[in-house]
A and B are shown apart, each in its own frame.
Chain A
């Protein structure tokens, strides 16, 4: 009697673990399937001309160079604004600010900022940067809009990485006659840098793939030449994909998947870089 009960329990446990494992595997399937599907469908479109040429015949032929360059510009522009601001905010929150109503408000604001739908950022950018500050539909306005969207990701991951650095390092450094800032610069930031970089890349990667925030602030349907200044509008990969998928009749499906593939590779490459940085830092970490 007792024996069969314990056997029974053992069986239930085995079944439970199997179910959990299957569910974990199931979460991977959609991701892998999407990547494989896009690769299979998009690969035939990829050629040197596709990557380095301009679109022609109403975008039904030719390449997507202006969209690639545009996304590159927007990503760099976003980094220029969001990285220094985000890291500075994280340093303030983690290293200088005491727990007070002000810092609690800032933290709640950051969490809520992360939850705002991206199209709302787009409208906000239109109102503030394009119209009020008169930047026009431009790389500048779009980069600033994307920066605001990226900031919460950068701030929260950077703050987390800074807090993960053991408190004892700070105490020791201060006891050796270092100022707070020297301690942050020479020890805390150095140790937190891989974590911060990972957050930066993940934030920028999201910015690079977004359509809604640049829709009203900087994205162009078609431009015959590359943008020449930050005040020019630009084509961009996600918006281009949206346009050729919905706005152009008789669009060859190959070019759509080719564009999707380029965007996917762009984003996955950033992801890969983040992973490499993280695992290398973990191997080298001295605490």
Chain B
């Protein structure tokens, strides 16, 4: 198994003193679902936002360590963050469709990247929407405003939007937290297909979802990576007492 992402001794503190990370090291294998789970405030979202440098928008007090993606340290100030974000797609907790049509939501990032050919854009729209398992539901209404879709459909459009750039890595930050069980099932089913092509890092909204989806699982508690192993091992025979207490529902 090739390691797509290598996190080395990553520490970070926000200026407002909220979430932080303490000396986290982790290897994320390619073409698999790696789950980051644990109670709120554990540093899962912070780690995601380091991977695509979205933390640049937040006030960070101090950070140290390295994150290597394909061998390149993406925390290096000289890194081309635009190129990085095109390679590392992200889906947020609340479905945020941009205020435009379904089609434009998908083509937005491609057009910014300089793609003008209608045929290429059409192709990307169909391919991404199919990958996100939403094509059949929207193919006849691509010009409608994306906001008119249901929450579950919107979230899959958001997934398709991040896939349009053909990234290597997809980050999902509690993507199903606001969705009904049927929509959640559709998103999870899409992930099973997607991991054949993409490296996926998922912050699940429940321990159950973590157990269902994880090829690899990392348990975070208050900024610390407590335990990291294959999903099967971690959820059936955790080594750490704290992990066991959390997945059996003793706290959290």
Chain A residues engaging chain B, CB cutoff 8 angstroms: 166, 168-169, 171-179, 182, 186-187, 190-191, 285-287
**What is the minimal beta-carbon distance from A116 to any residue of chain B, in angstroms?**
36
- Check if A191 sits within 8 Å of B99, measured CB to CB: yes
| A179 CA / B82 CA spacing, docked (Å) | 7
- Check if B99 sits within 8 Å of A175, measured CB to CB: no
Query: Known interface pairs A178-B109, A286-B147, A287-B147. Does A173 touch B98 (Cβ–Cβ under 8 Å)?
Result: yes
Looking at the complex, which one of B89, B96, B158, B162 makes contact with A169 (CB distance below 8 Å)? B96
Given the complex, which residues of A lie within 8 Å of B158, measured CB to CB? 172
Q: Does residue B198 face the partner (Cβ distance < 8 Å to A)?
A: no
Q: How many A-B residue pairs have CB under 8 A?
A: 64
| A287 CA / B99 CA spacing, docked (Å) | 7
- Check if B92 sits within 8 Å of A172, measured CB to CB: yes
Q: Which residue of B lies closest to A172 (CB)?
A: B96
| A20 CA / B166 CA spacing, docked (Å) | 61
- Check if B99 sits within 8 Å of A177, measured CB to CB: no
* Cβ proximity bits B138-166 to A, threshold 8 Å, 1 near / 0 not: 00000001110000000000100110010
- Check if A175 sits within 8 Å of B82, measured CB to CB: no
Given the complex, which residues of B lie within 8 Å of A175, measured CB to CB? 52, 54, 85, 89-90, 92, 162
* Cβ proximity bits B68-112 to A, threshold 8 Å, 1 near / 0 not: 000000000000001101100110101010111000000011001
Q: Does residue B57 face the partner (Cβ distance < 8 Å to A)?
A: yes
- Check if A171 sits within 8 Å of B54, measured CB to CB: yes
Q: Does residue B189 face the partner (Cβ distance < 8 Å to A)?
A: no
**What is the minimal beta-carbon distance from B120 to any residue of chain A, in angstroms?**
17
Query: Known interface pairs A174-B85, A286-B145. Does A169 touch B99 (Cβ–Cβ under 8 Å)?
Result: yes
Given the complex, which residues of A lie within 8 Å of B40, measured CB to CB? none
| 14 A-B contact pairs sorted by A residue (CB < 8 Å) | A172-B92, A174-B57, A175-B85, A175-B90, A175-B162, A176-B112, A177-B109, A177-B112, A177-B113, A178-B108, A182-B112, A186-B112, A285-B99, A286-B99
Given the complex, which residues of A lie within 8 Å of B57, measured CB to CB? 171, 174
- Check if B92 sits within 8 Å of A168, measured CB to CB: yes
- Check if B98 sits within 8 Å of A172, measured CB to CB: yes
- Check if A176 sits within 8 Å of B162, measured CB to CB: yes
**What is the minimal beta-carbon distance from B203 to any residue of chain A, in angstroms?**
15
**What is the minimal beta-carbon distance from B114 to any residue of chain A, in angstroms?**
11
Given the complex, which residues of B lie within 8 Å of A191, measured CB to CB? 99
Query: Known interface pairs A286-B147, A287-B147. Does A176 touch B165 (Cβ–Cβ under 8 Å)?
Result: yes
| A175 CA / B147 CA spacing, docked (Å) | 19
Query: Known interface pairs A176-B112, A177-B112. Does A169 touch B98 (Cβ–Cβ under 8 Å)?
Result: yes
Given the complex, which residues of B lie within 8 Å of A285, measured CB to CB? 99
- Check if B165 sits within 8 Å of A177, measured CB to CB: yes
| A179 CA / B86 CA spacing, docked (Å) | 12
Given the complex, which residues of A lie within 8 Å of B94, measured CB to CB? 168
| A287 CA / B146 CA spacing, docked (Å) | 11
| A178 CA / B108 CA spacing, docked (Å) | 9
| A176 CA / B105 CA spacing, docked (Å) | 11
Query: Known interface pairs A171-B54, A287-B99, A287-B147. Does A176 touch B92 (Cβ–Cβ under 8 Å)?
Result: no
Looking at the complex, which one of A166, A178, A190 makes contact with B112 (CB distance below 8 Å)? A178
| A173 CA / B57 CA spacing, docked (Å) | 12
Q: Which residue of B lies closest to A98 (CB)?
A: B59
Given the complex, which residues of A lie within 8 Å of B85, measured CB to CB? 174-177
Given A176-B85, A176-B161, A177-B85, list of 17 further CB < 8 A pairs? A168-B96, A169-B96, A169-B98, A172-B98, A173-B98, A174-B85, A175-B52, A175-B85, A175-B89, A175-B90, A176-B86, A176-B89, A176-B112, A177-B86, A178-B112, A182-B112, A285-B99
| A191 CA / B198 CA spacing, docked (Å) | 34
**What is the minimal beta-carbon distance from A124 to any residue of chain B, in angstroms?**
40
Given the complex, which residues of A lie within 8 Å of B112, measured CB to CB? 176-178, 182, 186
- Check if A176 sits within 8 Å of B99, measured CB to CB: no
| A174 CA / B57 CA spacing, docked (Å) | 9
Q: Which residue of A lies closest to B145 (CB)?
A: A286
* Cβ proximity bits B44-74 to A, threshold 8 Å, 1 near / 0 not: 0000000010100100000000000000000
- Check if A174 sits within 8 Å of B86, measured CB to CB: no
**What is the minimal beta-carbon distance from B233 to any residue of chain A, in angstroms?**
32
| A179 CA / B57 CA spacing, docked (Å) | 12
**What is the minimal beta-carbon distance from B123 to any residue of chain A, in angstroms?**
18
